[in-house]
């Protein structure tokens, strides 16, 4: 996604930048409202972690939370630890595996 869409020029000449934060873990979805108005609230450690990863991420980068980095096959990734939270900025991964229960690289 970064290769294809970072520095993407729109039809009106605007340049779009992308930054990606990734985490793993459980999250809870709460549906709030009634028939006239409904909203959702998503909470959990995974949500807090992905918010932290995203906040430490600069445009054009991919940052994974400490939990996500611990699930990575670190022998196949090149990354740099950033910040005080254990997040890692990923420069390259040789493969990506997705499972129903977790996402790991």
pLDDT, residue 32, reads: 94
Return per-residue pLDDT of the chain as tens, 105 residues.
777 778 888 899 999 888 889 999 999 999 999 989 999 999 999 999 999 999 998 888 889 999 999 988 888 888 889 888 899 998 877 665 543 333 333
- For the chain, the C-alpha Rg in angstroms (whole number) is 16
Is 19 in contact with 56 (CB distance < 8 Å)?
Answer: no
Q: What is the pLDDT of residue 3?
A: 73
- 54, burial (CB in 10 Å: exposed 0-12, middle 13-18, buried 19+): middle
CB 69 within 8 A of CB 88: yes
Model confidence, pTM? 0.73
Domains of the chain: 2-104 (3.30.70.1230)
Residue 13 CB neighbours (<10 A)? 6
Strands 20-22 and 62-64: what pairing? parallel
């Amino acid at each position: 996604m970064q290769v294809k869409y970072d520095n993407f020029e729109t039809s009106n000449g605007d340049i779009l930048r992308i930054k990606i934060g990734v985490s793993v873990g459980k999250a809870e979805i709460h549906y709030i409202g009634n028939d006239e108005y409904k909203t959702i609230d998503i909470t959990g450690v995974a949500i807090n972690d992905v918010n932290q990863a995203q906040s430490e991420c600069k445009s054009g980068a991919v940052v994974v939370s400490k939990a996500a980095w611990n699930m990575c096959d670190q022998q196949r990734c090149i990354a740099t630890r950033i910040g005080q939270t254990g997040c890692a900025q990923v420069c390259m991964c040789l493969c990506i595996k997705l499972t129903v229960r977790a996402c790991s690289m």
